[in-house]
Amino acid sequence: MARHPGKPGRVTERLKRLSFGLMQIEVAVNDPKAYTKPWSVTIEMAVQVDTQMLGEICIDNEKDTRLYKK
């Protein structure tokens, strides 16, 4: 998929605390040059008390892992 680097689409992330132990994360993608229509995904995650929230990283075929903090 060829893209012009100066014309990105829009990604919106919403984090909502549903209850003391449950967080809802919604990601919406709107990029008409990459997708035929906007799409979104919503997931729920259990909150781990006294820990840091870490993003999930997919390593399959990842070429930029050297940029991630270790």
61: left (phi over 0), alpha (psi -120 to 50) or beta: left
Q: E strands along 1-70, which residues?
A: 10-19, 22-30, 39-46
Give tens-digit pLDDT for 2-61.
455 556 788 999 999 998 889 899 999 999 888 899 999 999 988 777 776 666 656 666
Does this model's pTM top 0.75? My answer is no
Q: What is the pLDDT of residue 9?
A: 84
Distances in Å between the Cα of 41 and the Cα atoms of 6, 24, 27 are 25, 11, 5
Q: Would you call 18 helix, strand, or coil by DSSP?
A: strand
Beta carbons of 28 and 12 less than 8 angstroms apart:
yes
Which neighbouring-strand residues pair with 42? 26
